[in-house]
Amino acid sequence: MSAHKEMLFVKEHIFLALGHQLKKSNESISPTPPHGVWNCLQSAIKMRQPVLVFPVSDMETYQPLTAMTEYAINSPSLPNAGMVACLIAAGGSPPTLWDDEKSGYTFQQNSDSKEFQALRDVLIMKPGSTIEDAFSVLKGIGVLGGEFVRAEAVGFIGVKPKLVKKDDMLGKHNRILKIMTTKRREWQKKF
């Protein structure tokens, strides 16, 4: 594609995005971007940082979701006993939840504790993801059940949580997230 056609494509789409019409010349403008423009746009999108979301079950103590722990320690993608033995033999450390005595992953959590918890679990979301997207991920991996009811979020520990809409975009202002659903799981009944 010529640079001139690329420029016409970019101008047309910028003007359309602003609600204006570009006066078309005798040249026809393709609805698909020229290869160079497309590659540039894709590269720019890929360079955007992911959005980190910390799902919690309590907005005061920042308790992690119990079902998230169950998902993490039972994930088939985790290193098995043989992999962990090789890692240790090479001078590395075993994964955080690895129990040498049981040769598996375990986790003990005191859900009655009201003391502050460090943020533990994180979802890595694409830029532009919404609260509903985070809900879909958590529901898809079996951490949440039922339908979305409401969500609370904050950007930093210690800030008072605010209700958020499910179509709100995720970002640094709402990255600590508590989602309530219509179906209560065993761990949800405790809170």
- Residue 171's nearest CA partner among 68, 54, 59, 58 is 54
The count of domains in the chain is 2
Residue 28: CB atoms within 10 Å: 8
pLDDT bucket at 112, cuts 50 / 70 / 90: low
**Average pLDDT of span 171-191:** 78
What is residue 21's predicted lDDT score, i.e. its pLDDT? 45
**Average pLDDT of span 115-128:** 80
CATH number of 55's domain: 3.10.20
152 and 176 share one domain: yes
* Highest mean pLDDT (candidates 68-77, 86-95, 164-173): 164-173
Q: Is 39 a residue whose pLDDT tops 90?
A: no
40 and 55 share one domain: no
Q: Is 19 a residue whose pLDDT tops 90?
A: no
67 and 40 share one domain: no
Gap between the Cα atoms of 177 and 191, Å rounded = 15
CB 136 within 8 A of CB 129: no
Tokens (6 digits) for 120? 């533990």
Q: What is the DSSP string of 136-148?
A: HHHHHTTS-EEEE
49-63, 67-81, 87-101, 117-131, range with the lowest pLDDT: 67-81
* Average pLDDT along the chain: 77
What is residue 114's predicted lDDT score, i.e. its pLDDT? 56
Q: Burial code of 64-89, b = ≥16 C-beta within 10 A, e = fewer?
A: bbbbbbeebbeeeeeeeeeebeeeee
**Average pLDDT of span 31-49:** 72
> Is residue 126 one of the residues assigned to a domain?
yes
42 and 121 share one domain: no
The angle subtended at Cα 16 by Cα 12 and Cα 21, nearest 5°, is 75
pTM for the whole thing? 0.59
**Average pLDDT of span 72-79:** 69
Q: Domain range spanning residue 142?
A: 51-77+116-190
127 and 142 share one domain: yes
Q: Is 186 a residue whose pLDDT tops 60?
A: no
